[in-house]
Structure 1
Amino acid sequence: MRKWLQGVLWGVVLALAGCAVQQAPVTQRGPAPAKITSGAQLPSPIISPEVHQHRPVPAPPVSQPTTPAPPVAPAYTWASQPQVRLADGSTIPVLASLLKRAQTYQYQGKWYKAAHVLEQAVRVAPQSALPYLRFGQLRLAQKQYASAANMARRGLLFARLAQDRGQLWQVIAQAYRAQGQLTLARQAEAESQRALKP
């Protein structure tokens, strides 16, 4: 321990000594100034290229306080942006298989296994609304109402089809109703009706 401490101290001393020894580079500035005697005229100064003249910076003009200008609208609109197509997983065969397996586990009452399979489905197709819908339905069956509503809300972010949006809003409404939040349940049911309206 003592040798280690000595090593650290020597390292600090050498680092500080190295900082103190370093000298600034020397540049030629011209001839040394001559001694000034009384009555003698001074020669004009010689300015070498290394010496920069410092000019005074003019003070900014004082203006009257003004009101800030309104923000400028961007030169583009959302309509001019390229449309991004979400990978909803509808073309991934393993997604359908995972959803079917999760449904089988749920019917058998193996909710833990169903949740595990649905987590895999979310990882396979994170931008698909179906895994979130099934997850919300599973959480309703498990009486985990807050989790069911959260899963359904996530699914709403990716739901393109009106049928999917309607079912997701129904899950949210059922979760709110089970928690005793009847006003929110009615609002969610109204959203479900609006989504399913032809």
Structure 2
Amino acid sequence: MASRILLLLAVALLPFVACNSEGDALHAFRRSLSDPDNVLQSWDPTLVNPCTWFHVTCDKDNHVTRVDLGNSNLSGRLVPELGILEHLQYLELYKNKISGELPEELGNLKNLVSLDLYNNSLTGEIPSSLGKLKSLVFLRLNNNKLTGRIPRSLVGTASLKVVDLSSNDLCGTIPTAGAFEHLPLKSFDNNPHLNGPELLGSVAYDSGCK
């Protein structure tokens, strides 16, 4: 009887454990940021879950579904812990001063609909793991300092409707298959080392890449 009660208690506490891990992930992100305007002042890690924090939205099960921190004068880096937020649908961090690389762990955000990181100072390559985001509709990484090729894994993301990779330093060629078939070329403007759309079976994929 006692073991059954303990089991039921453990099951009942699972949502709180999950919420605590999501809160820990967001707090790890907060620690990596400089926040001169104190927009993250309410992000208190001692609370049961992060659903009462400003700029965070949760679903009915207290899972984090949105982080809205666009145009918040934040600087710092993205952290791998963000990949823990598997219920996250919207990650809005545009128009800040965030630098460093995009963590591979962003590919764990299986419910992500919108990834808006435009107008920051992000560097490095676009992780191929983003191709695992099968719910992704909006991918806006324009006006950063990203380098390398456009990951071919993104071609298989059928849900993609809006992609903006303009004003970076990407190289190679622009995909034309799958989700990229109907994207306007302006989505790739101002990448000096990026060549035009590739032909079927083109071997120019490495052209312009180091």
Per the normalisation by structure 2, the TM-score is 0.29
Instruction: Write 1 or 2 for the structure with the bigger share of helix.
Output: 1
Instruction: Write 1 or 2 for the structure with the bigger share of strand.
Output: 2
Per the normalisation by structure 1, the TM-score is 0.30
